[in-house]
């Protein structure tokens, strides 16, 4: 019988490894701990390679086709906006910057986010940051922590008020509100669906001005999370792509 081989596992070394990467012997037919380790190690190494390639490609673009414009982006949210679960701890931001530098656009980020917080709790900090940050675009991503709250009946009204206050802060600022990714936590499902519907209501009521849009993060597969809530690197890349789709009409044209 065979069990997955791991160099860090003394049991595997004691039995002996084959060139095929498996351990042959009379051990257990399957070891969940070793299998889990191997999967996590493969994911870790693949993520490191992906991040290296991302940064190398971005550096090459900057060298060959230097950016001709800069976009100031304020990222508002909770632990997902912070980047919890990503290899580099920065979440979607480096991926978004990499996508935009391919269009010869530099990105200057301001991050107003805190793990475990709801939109209600973070609204004062977001509004206070606007004068100094002077953002061209504000990306709002709340919903997971909000979904755990017992009453979401006024969520759309509060979100709409936040969007209106941001839009009123500058005649040129644009706002994107994310429809939050669906977690694997069954007890959050109802609340997340309510938040998604509220985002649609808020954005649809403000689309005519051309300064508000939504980004659908519900397309991030649930399996692309490490803990059922926070995305892995692939999930954050997909989030960056969704943000890019949403802000595309507002991006400057390279000179």
What are the pLDDT digits (tens) for 20-39?
Answer: 444 455 555 556 666 665 66
- pLDDT tens track for 52-69: 788 787 888 888 888 889
Alpha-carbon distance of 15 to 130, in angstroms, equals 61
Say if residue 218's pLDDT is above 80. Answer: yes
Residue with tokens 């980047």: 83
The domain segmentation of the chain, as residue ranges, is: 1-64, 67-250
- What integer best gives the mean pLDDT of the chain? 84
Say if residue 101's pLDDT is above 60. Answer: yes
- pLDDT tens track for 112-147: 999 999 999 999 999 999 999 999 999 999 988 988
* The pLDDT of residue 52: 72
State what percent of residues in the chain have pLDDT above 70: 82
Say if residue 212's pLDDT is above 70. Answer: yes
Q: Which residue has the higher pLDDT, 180 or 204?
A: 204
**Predicted structure pTM score:** 0.79
Give the fold, CATH level 3, of 67-250: Rossmann fold (3.40.50)
Mean pLDDT computed over 173-184: 89
* The pLDDT of residue 2: 47
138 in Cβ contact with 174 (< 8 Å)? yes
* The pLDDT of residue 122: 98
Alpha-carbon distance of 223 to 197, in angstroms, equals 23
Say if residue 210's pLDDT is above 90. Answer: yes
Say if residue 109's pLDDT is above 90. Answer: yes
Q: Are strands 2-4 and 137-141 parallel, antiparallel or unpaired?
A: unpaired
* The pLDDT of residue 189: 75
Residues 6+ apart with CB under 8 A from 176: 137, 138, 139, 140, 212, 213, 214, 215, 243, 246, 247
- pLDDT tens track for 64-96: 888 889 999 999 999 999 999 898 999 999 999
- Using alpha carbons, select from 220, 241, 240 the residue that is nearest to residue 230: 220
Say if residue 111's pLDDT is above 70. Answer: yes
pLDDT grade, residue 48 (50/70/90)? confident
pLDDT grade, residue 13 (50/70/90)? very low
24 in Cβ contact with 16 (< 8 Å)? yes
């Amino acid at each position: 019988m065979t069990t997955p081989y791991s160099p860090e596992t003394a049991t595997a070394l004691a039995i002996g490894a084959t060139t095929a990467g498996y351990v042959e012997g009379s051990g257990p037919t399957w070891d969940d701990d070793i299998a889990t380790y191997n999967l996590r190690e493969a994911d870790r190494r693949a993520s490191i390679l992906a991040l290296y390639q991302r940064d190398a490609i971005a550096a090459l673009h900057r060298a060959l086709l230097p950016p001709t414009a800069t976009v100031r982006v304020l990222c508002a949210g909770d632990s997902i906006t912070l980047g919890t679960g990503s290899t580099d701890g920065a979440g979607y931001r480096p991926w978004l910057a990499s996508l935009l530098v391919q269009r010869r656009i530099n990105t200057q980020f301001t991050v107003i986010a805190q793990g475990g917080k709801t939109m209600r709790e973070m609204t004062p900090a977001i509004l206070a940051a606007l004068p100094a940050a002077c953002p061209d675009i504000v990306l709002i991503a709340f919903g997971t922590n909000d979904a755990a709250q017992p009453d979401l009946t006024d969520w759309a009204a509060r979100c709409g008020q936040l969007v209106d206050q941001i839009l009123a802060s500058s005649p040129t600022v644009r706002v994107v509100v994310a429809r939050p990714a669906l977690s694997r936590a069954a007890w959050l499902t109802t609340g997340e669906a309510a938040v998604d519907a509220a985002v649609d209501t808020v954005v649809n009521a403000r689309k005519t001005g051309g300064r508000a849009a939504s980004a659908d993060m519900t397309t991030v597969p649930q399996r692309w999370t490490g803990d059922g809530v926070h995305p892995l690197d692939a999930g954050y890349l997909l989030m960056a792509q969704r943000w890019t789709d949403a802000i595309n009409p507002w991006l400057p044209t390279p000179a």
